[in-house]
A and B are shown apart, each in its own frame.
Chain A
Amino acid sequence: MRNMAMRSQIYEWTNTAPGGTGFTLFRRSTDTSVALANANTETSIFIGGVGYNITKPAETTATQFVVIEDVSCTPFATGSATNNGGFTQIRINTTNYFQNPDVTQQSGIPGTASPYPRGYQNILKTFDLYPDIYVLPGQVWDVIFTNGVALATATPADVVAVFVKYTLYDGPDALIANKLLELGITVNPNNVDWYKRTLIEQQSASMGGMA
């Protein structure tokens, strides 16, 4: 499917699941919050066993290329009754993307800097994920949520969310994405289109030369 080769994709995680269970593969309106008993617990939003999950780790095949463009989560403010959010870290294979200047581990992007929903508690975005994060073919990627405070079960105020926006390049467009990476050019839909046009122009020129 030619027009499906570059697709804008989203993933929203919430710590909600049917009462008495830890996680779910299907959202339901009756889902309630799942507890994260201790503050500063790291939870994978894909396969962490808490809230909305998917069936296997997020990974790219040999013909896929993923560009993560935005990550945001519920903000966290010490002492606030409503800002019960936390931080999000991106992990590629076993490497955490965000590190302290001394190369030690940190929790990642604060929800206060990149809030979801945007405007929640009148908090607007401070952080922009640029340059984007590339997940190369064959890599496993994950988004790790760290809660700032303990979250209780079946408590509406303790519902937290993480939002990820990424673009999936598949098939020929993934090959072009790899080529752009080799050339040191940013991988985005515009540049992939530009590379395609260049190929077509080269082909047209060589056919003209032959004629």
Chain B
Amino acid sequence: MAMRSQLYEWTATASIVDIQSSIFIGGTGNNITKPAETTATQFVVIEQVASSGSNPGGAATGTYTSTAGNAGLHMFAQVRINTTDYFLDPDNKPNDGIPGTASPYPRTLTLQPSFSLYPDIYVLPGQVWDVLVTQRGAANNAQAVQQCFVKYTLYDGPDALIANKLLELGISVSPANVDWYKRSLIQQQSAVVA
């Protein structure tokens, strides 16, 4: 259980038009009991963030719309570590984050991802992290659903220590590299015993 693939899906129950709202403790939709944070023995790697998107143009109302189910939804998802926003405009001003149109959830044949989160985002032990969603463009379809999806890997206990070590060594923190480091330790130990 020391390395676990984790996910979190958020669905809004109230409008977040022009409002930046936390998917964990924002007070709308499904929430959790406290802010997302890592303990001293945890390490989180955020690997994917996606949100509801739609195609531009083509409908009678709204500015960023389509005739599909998510008509009008133009959501963005920003990742925040402690108090720092991850995605910035080139003038160093925090922006709304990843457009749902670039990283859509759900993915469809007519709305596929343009963006992949690489390099991953690391949440070090003791840090608080959050995903903040904003909707620009009012939905013009009653079936439109505001959703956000986060995929991350939680490293706990010894694996979190190894993750920190990999970070120090400048090696990407991934399950494969954590396993590689463990094998190296075992091989070194075997060599010493022999």
Contact = CB atoms under 8 A, between A and B. Distances in A.
Real complex partners, A and B?
A: yes
Interface of A: 1-4, 6-12, 14, 16, 25, 27-33, 46, 54-56, 58-59, 70, 72, 74, 82, 84, 116-122, 124, 156-161, 163, 165, 167, 189-190, 192-193, 195-197, 200
B87 A124 contact: no
11 contacts: A12-B101, A16-B63, A29-B138, A58-B91, A118-B111, A119-B112, A121-B55, A156-B60, A156-B64, A159-B57, A165-B114
B189 interface: no
Given A12-B99, A29-B136, A74 B56 contact: yes
B110 interface: yes
B114 A118 contact: yes
A72 B114 contact: yes
Given A10-B99, A27-B96, A117-B114, A156 B65 contact: yes
Contacts of B108: 119
B17 A29 contact: yes
A193 B171 contact: yes
A54 B169 CA distance: 36
Contacts of B179: none
Interface of B: 17-18, 53, 55-65, 74, 84, 86-91, 93, 95-99, 101-102, 104, 108-115, 117-119, 122, 124, 135-138, 167, 169-172
B122 A11 contact: no
- Select the residue from A9, A46, A167 with max chain B CB neighbours within 10 A: A9
Contact of B172 (A16, A29, A159, A193): A193
A27 B104 contact: no
A156 B101 contact: no
Nearest to B19: A29
A9 B78 CA distance: 11
Given A29-B138, A156-B59, 20 more contacts: A10-B97, A10-B102, A14-B63, A29-B74, A29-B136, A59-B90, A116-B101, A117-B102, A117-B114, A118-B112, A118-B114, A120-B111, A121-B55, A156-B62, A156-B63, A160-B56, A161-B56, A163-B99, A163-B102, A165-B114
Q: Secondary structure at chain B's binding surface: helix, strand, loop or mixed?
A: loop
Contact of A8 (B61, B93, B101, B117): B117
A166 B62 CA distance: 29
Given A14-B64, A117-B111, A157 B58 contact: yes
A166 B184 CA distance: 34
B110 A120 contact: yes
A189 B118 contact: yes
Given A31-B63, A31-B136, A117-B114, A156 B171 contact: no
A70 B60 CA distance: 31
Contacts of A189: 118-119, 172
Given A29-B137, A196-B170, A6 B115 contact: no
B167 to A, nearest CB: 7
B119 A32 contact: no
A117 B112 contact: yes
B55, B104, B108: residue with the most chain A Cβ atoms closer than 10 Å: B55
Nearest to A6: B119
B90 A46 contact: yes
A117 B137 contact: no
B40 to A, nearest CB: 16
A82 B101 contact: no
Contact of B55 (A16, A27, A117, A124): A117
Ranked nearest first, the 6 interchain pairs of A and B with the lowest CB-CB distance are A196-B170, A58-B90, A119-B112, A118-B112, A54-B91, A189-B119
B113 A118 contact: yes
A160 to B, nearest CB: 7
Contacts of A27: 96, 136
